[in-house]
Chain A
């Protein structure tokens, strides 16, 4: 299959970043349609579409939308966008915000209509200043022309949209930590359901809050405009993944970039879209961002992109940050760098993650320096098993999975490094520099 562009169809057209250019390409037709629909009908279209969260977890989107109380109390309803894209290897939200900002704005406005939202916040990671500038410009134009603010398009409905920037923290991409951060706290996760109410009941400032990823909101205009039924025909060859997904391809490929594909496309086709492997033969792939388990070239050959299908190769769709590694890559060094990332980004709230990520790093660091000891692999596995499922939020799990996956698939590389004090990769690393 080739690319199937919905969100990115007009991404390279600078006019699409202006309100007039967006309107000329059929922009805001979905909002106009939604303004005439019952709230529940909007949610039902999203349900029919089969849309699942594009931030990494793949949670059915309509359940969140449907979870916002239908009867409004004196509390405001918030529509929150998770634009704290931080997963190594992922850069799709960046492109959406920079090049198709109105899709996000329109999607959030529609979500506001469906959930009686009063205010929306887009929480963008602090580094993404270009993305924030593009959105700022788009939001200002939308306000000026009555697409945001009071009495949207004369409908009597109000919706305000604010931009809030983070200040450098991977953990803030976790939804409860993101809310902590937006409310002016350290970006640490909060107690979750069933120990605390769902964010749809009590999120930002104890009020009902709908939170979705950038790409998820950007899908909404297409679903409303063309119908959920139509959207659900995309990706119909997969078990339970519908629509298109943007994959960010990077690493050792000739043509890195974002590629929007229909679910059911093979990973090999995605690699071909990115121009194939650079600098040698394919060795491995991290298909969905740093948190998902690494797979080898043989698995790349048979992997089909879909939330359930990727489990067949013991990996995940994740956030779509797909990194390809060529034969000159030392897996031990690569996993050491992954472990360093998680040790740096662990927020420190819970012990399994704070200590576990550090221990994993220490063990991998000594292996990398040629001082590995017999039993280190088992020790790593033990530490992973003590983090996985035991940390306060998903960061701990995400730190354990790549290490577990790498040991499962490339165990002999770890064994070789420990036994010989050096990497199994002996070819001149033209692209990968061991630090």
Chain B
């Protein structure tokens, strides 16, 4: 029988750094934010998810072995535990270093009904990338994702912290042009926004 459709990408896990290789890279801001987050929960384990969001920002959008090791070190957890958590969730980039912008196209039910597979094929023809692939210039990664729960705007795509929809080919062209002219990485921006919404205004790093 034919190969099974697959959204989750198979991958090799990075090698965790040895203790003497540990190179802590969190910025002053990241350290400040993690300290503020620790006051939100009764234990350090509960900081793993927000800690990974900080790491995803600090490490340029990709949780490699060093990033996971740093979160584990700062929260006094084991590498295996933090890696286990990180790889469970689809929004942590643990499989591949994503491009500067991640095109997360919803192909779930309502978007499917409204033609999102046509848009998937259009992205393939325009940028040459399918699910899990990145353009050679490192600008765009394409991912088919499950329901983003804004089905009134189907077909819908998430890029960074923004939803775009309803989309058609022309709007997709315009969006991709706009992203080409966007300075920073929307992948990093998304992680930063997620960290910020955890924190009260008085807790933010000024």
- On chain B, the residues within 8 Å of A89 by CB distance are 109-110, 147, 151
Chain A nearest CB, measured from B104 CB (Å): 8
Q: A163-B197, A165-B197 are in contact. Are A432 and B115 (CB under 8 A)?
A: yes
Q: A129-B193, A256-B152, A290-B109 are in contact. Are A169 and B90 (CB under 8 A)?
A: yes
Chain A nearest CB, measured from B84 CB (Å): 6
Task: Mark the stretch among A14-22, A80-88, A265-273, A420-428 that contacts chain B.
Answer: A80-88
* Chain A contact residues, majority secondary structure: mixed
Per the bound structure, the CA–CA distance linking A149 and B41 in Å amounts to 15
Q: A340-B5, A434-B117 are in contact. Are A167 and B89 (CB under 8 A)?
A: yes
Docked-complex contact A432 and B113, CB < 8 angstroms:
yes
A31 contacts the other chain (Cβ, under 8 Å)?
no
- On chain B, the residues within 8 Å of A290 by CB distance are 108-109, 147
- On chain A, the residues within 8 Å of B84 by CB distance are 186
B181 contacts the other chain (Cβ, under 8 Å)?
no
- On chain B, the residues within 8 Å of A256 by CB distance are 151-154
Per the bound structure, the CA–CA distance linking A298 and B47 in Å amounts to 51
Name the one of A129, A163, A323, A362 contacting B161, with C-beta atoms under 8 angstroms: A129
A165-215 with Cβ < 8 A to chain B: 165-170, 181-187, 205
Per the bound structure, the CA–CA distance linking A115 and B117 in Å amounts to 48
Name the one of B41, B110, B163 contacting A88, with C-beta atoms under 8 angstroms: B110
Name the one of B118, B146, B151, B190 contacting A91, with C-beta atoms under 8 angstroms: B151
Chain A nearest CB, measured from B35 CB (Å): 15
Per the bound structure, the CA–CA distance linking A433 and B48 in Å amounts to 40
Task: Mark the stretch among A247-255, A310-318, A393-401 that contacts chain B.
Answer: A247-255
Task: Mark the stretch among A43-51, A217-225, A227-235, A364-372 that contacts chain B.
Answer: A364-372
Chain B nearest CB, measured from A418 CB (Å): 14
Docked-complex contact A325 and B113, CB < 8 angstroms:
yes
B interface list, Cβ under 8 A from A: 1-2, 4-5, 7-8, 40-43, 45-50, 52-53, 84-85, 88-92, 107-110, 112-118, 120, 146-154, 158, 161, 163, 190, 193-194, 196-198, 200-201
Other A-B pairs beyond A88-B109, A184-B41, 7, CB < 8 Å: A136-B197, A140-B201, A167-B91, A183-B45, A252-B114, A258-B152, A290-B109
